[in-house]
Amino acid sequence: MREIVILGGGYAGLRALRFLQKSKGGFHITLVDRNDYHYESTDLHEVAAGTQPAEKILYPIEDVVDPDVTTFVQASVEKIDRDNREVSLDNGETLSYDYLIVALGFRSESFGIEGVDDNSLPMVDVKTAIAVHDHIIAQMEDYKETHNPDDLKIVVCGAGFTGIELLGALNDNRNEYAEIAGVAPERIELYVVEAVTRLLPMMPEELADYGVAKLESWGVKFLTGKPIKAIKPQTVVYQTNAETGETDELTANTIIWTTGVSGSKVIDDSGFSAKRGRMMVDSDLRDPDYRNVYLIGDCSAVMDPESNRPFPTTAQISLVMGELAAKNILAQLAGRQTGDFTYEPLGTVASIGNTHAFGVLGNGDKTVKGYAASALKKLIMDKALTETGGSKELFAKGRFDLYH
Ligand code: NAD
């Protein structure tokens, strides 16, 4: 029997699994993930801020696995050997495959900036998101003893989608922090330090400005055009003058790192010709050199023929990739032609708190703001939940409070 191995139970991997399992076409699947649960990585900022408990954004991988077709192995992938069609795991096991789907997701990118790993908090998975929330709460509790205003300060590094959504959720939870620290909510200071001045370049400028203005109206302080040069203990060092290299410092006891992501380290460790852990794949999502290996999700880059740039890394794109990789393996097994990646976006929406958002519909012709955008964002999230977890997970974890 043919063996299909799927590495990673994120959006891309689980979508591929669900699609393949439906066909029961004389093959066996092995799914590998380091966790026994899937999590909605688009909602990590809510766990980090504390506006959602972790359980709300995760569900057991076993719920998706059909034991008649699939074996789930909980382990970390260490290396992929494409020549010998083998995957080595940290539990000592080696898996052999006929077809491989690599969907190992992303990691935080520090760009080699000094002190990032030691002195700032990443927010890349459930554990690190919980750690961010625990850290914030500990600072608020400390404040009661120390009266150090830095305990009340939270700095987000990088105002991309992740940073902006995190700031919205932190603002939503300001009252909780203030209550623990025993201060007025406006004493909780939220900062973001960002390298560029034109934020969220994938959105029209007017819309990005709307998001910034909304957050500023809630008291978030934006330091833009200030590339971060180092993170020292409790201190962000940022450049204020590109010509002289002059820097300034912002002190805070919570510093969260959200300046971008790269694909899984396994991609680099396994000799894929990748840039920042993302490998350029053919239009049918295959490794150009190994016709039985597919790369999908955040460790994959597929060219958008319209923009002549790779498609961005988003959950929506990962889901489409997952389905196409599954369809293409079925096509290969049946001796048919593989299909090319095409993508019709529902929209690109950034939430700022539970009831506000801003974004573009479809390919970007129409913009949406406020409650309507927030409802659209929840619909996009519910669609992702259904496509990975199915209706069981949608009813348990879906966002039905669309207009509240
Ligand atoms: P990003 O790369 O989109 O944004 C990172 C931000 O950090 C940029 O604004 C960049 O200028 C800034 N930055 C980088 N280095 C810096 C430095 N040294 N000092 C200060 N600022 C610095 O990364 P992200 O926000 O983590 O998003 C990753 C991917 O996930 C993107 O493709 C994004 O579109 C996607 N995403 C989408 C959504 C959504 O659709 N709602 C939400 C989250 C993430």
Tell me the per-residue pLDDT of 369-390, one tens digit each, with 9 for 90 and over.
988 888 888 888 888 788 888 8
pLDDT tier at 169 (50, 70, 90 boundaries)?
very high
What kind and span of H or E run contains 11? helix 11-23
pLDDT tens for 310-346 read 998 999 999 999 999 999 999 999 999 999 999 988 8
Round to whole Å and give the CA distance between 135 and 363: 39
The answer to whether the beta carbons of residues 321 and 297 sit under 8 Å apart is: yes
Residue nearest to atom 23 of ligand 1 (CA): 260
Round to whole Å and give the CA distance between 18 and 13: 9
Round to whole Å and give the CA distance between 329 and 82: 17
The DSSP secondary structure of 164-213, one letter per residue, reads HHHHHHHHHTHHHHHHHHTS-GGGSEEEEE-S-SS--TTS-HHHHHHHHH
The answer to whether the beta carbons of residues 113 and 229 sit under 8 Å apart is: yes
Of 310, 373, 382, which is closest to residue 341 (Cα–Cα)? Answer: 310
Of 367, 401, 361, which is closest to residue 382 (Cα–Cα)? Answer: 401
The answer to whether the beta carbons of residues 226 and 195 sit under 8 Å apart is: yes
Round to whole Å and give the CA distance between 25 and 2: 10
What is the value of ipTM here, to two decimals? 0.96
At 93, list the tokens.
Answer: 């096991």
The DSSP secondary structure of 305-370, one letter per residue, reads TTTTEEPP--HHHHHHHHHHHHHHHHHHHTTPPPPPP-----EEEEESSSS-EEEEETTTTEEEEH
Find the 327 Cα to ligand 1 centroid distance in Å. Answer: 31
- What Å distances lie between residue 397 and 12, 39, 244, CA to CA? 19, 11, 51
At 316, list the tokens.
Answer: 């929506």
Q: Which of 40, 109, 165, 323 is catalytic?
A: 165
At 41, list the tokens.
Answer: 């990585």
pLDDT at 304: 92
Work out the percent of the chain whose per-residue pLDDT is above 90: 84
- Residue from 128, 161, 300, 313 whose mutation best tests the ligand 1 pocket (most atoms within 8 A of CB): 161
The answer to whether the beta carbons of residues 320 and 341 sit under 8 Å apart is: yes
- Residue from 162, 248, 256 whose mutation best tests the ligand 1 pocket (most atoms within 8 A of CB): 162
The answer to whether the beta carbons of residues 71 and 31 sit under 8 Å apart is: yes
Round to whole Å and give the CA distance between 315 and 41: 8
Residue 398: pLDDT over 80? no
Q: At what angle do helices 161-172 and 174-181 cross, to 10 degrees?
A: 50
Residue nearest to atom 42 of ligand 1 (CA): 161
pLDDT at 393: 75
Residue 86: pLDDT over 80? yes
Collect all residues with Cβ–Cβ distance below 8 Å to 269 and sequence separation of at least 6.
78, 79
pLDDT tier at 404 (50, 70, 90 boundaries)?
very low
Residue 21: pLDDT over 80? yes
242/400: higher pLDDT? 242
Residue 211: pLDDT over 70? yes
> Ligand 1: residues within 6 Å at CB?
42, 111, 113, 157-163, 165, 193-196, 227-228, 258-261, 312-314, 348-350
Residue 400: pLDDT over 50? yes
Collect all residues with Cβ–Cβ distance below 8 Å to 127 and sequence separation of at least 6.
none
* CATH class of this structure's domain 2-34+75-108+262-343: alpha beta
Residue 403: pLDDT over 50? no
Identical fold between 2-34+75-108+262-343 and 116-260: yes
Residue 165 appears among annotated catalytic residues: yes
Round to whole Å and give the CA distance between 250 and 235: 6
pLDDT tier at 34 (50, 70, 90 boundaries)?
very high
pLDDT at 132: 98
Round to whole Å and give the CA distance between 159 and 180: 27
Collect all residues with Cβ–Cβ distance below 8 Å to 334 and sequence separation of at least 6.
none
- What Å distances lie between residue 342 and 283, 292, 302, 394, CA to CA? 9, 20, 10, 26
Residue 84: pLDDT over 80? yes
Q: Which CATH architecture has domain 116-260?
A: 3-Layer(bba) Sandwich (3.50)
pLDDT at 402: 52
pLDDT at 401: 62
Q: Which atom of ligand 1 is nearest to the CA of 238?
A: 19
Q: Could you tell me how far CA 149 lies from the centroid of its own chain?
A: 31
Domain definitions of the chain by residue range: 2-34+75-108+262-343, 116-260
